[in-house]
Amino acid sequence: MRTLAALGLIALLTVPLPVLAGQRRTRCADYATREQAQAALQRGETWLDRNNDGRACDNHNFTGTQTRPSPRPTTTPTPRATPSPRR
């Protein structure tokens, strides 16, 4: 019986607070701007940051264009002059 009670307590502790309060979890689509979603993330709605990089809704389309983070610039090697063969 104690084991069952302990499992019930563990299950209760893993349920997010909005669910316990009868509210549904917010989604990226619930916010008009990335700034609003970021503010919600900072208030504790951690599910808005699926890849744990500190930015809410990285892949959500807020403006009609895909808003993925910009790729890091790659360095292009500097071409070097090839020495001519000796004769």
What is the Cα–Cα distance from 39 to 46, expressed in whole angstroms?
11
pLDDT of residue 63: 74
Is 61 strand, coil or helix? coil
* The model scores a pTM over 0.75: no
What is the Cα–Cα distance from 57 to 41, expressed in whole angstroms?
9
Pick out the chain residues at pLDDT < 50.
Answer: 11-12, 15, 18-19, 65-67
What is the Cα–Cα distance from 67 to 4, expressed in whole angstroms?
46
pLDDT of residue 40: 95
**Which helix or strand (DSSP H or E) is residue 36 part of?**
helix 34-42
What is the Cα–Cα distance from 54 to 87, expressed in whole angstroms?
61
pLDDT of residue 23: 72
**Which helix or strand (DSSP H or E) is residue 3 part of?**
helix 2-13
pLDDT of residue 81: 72
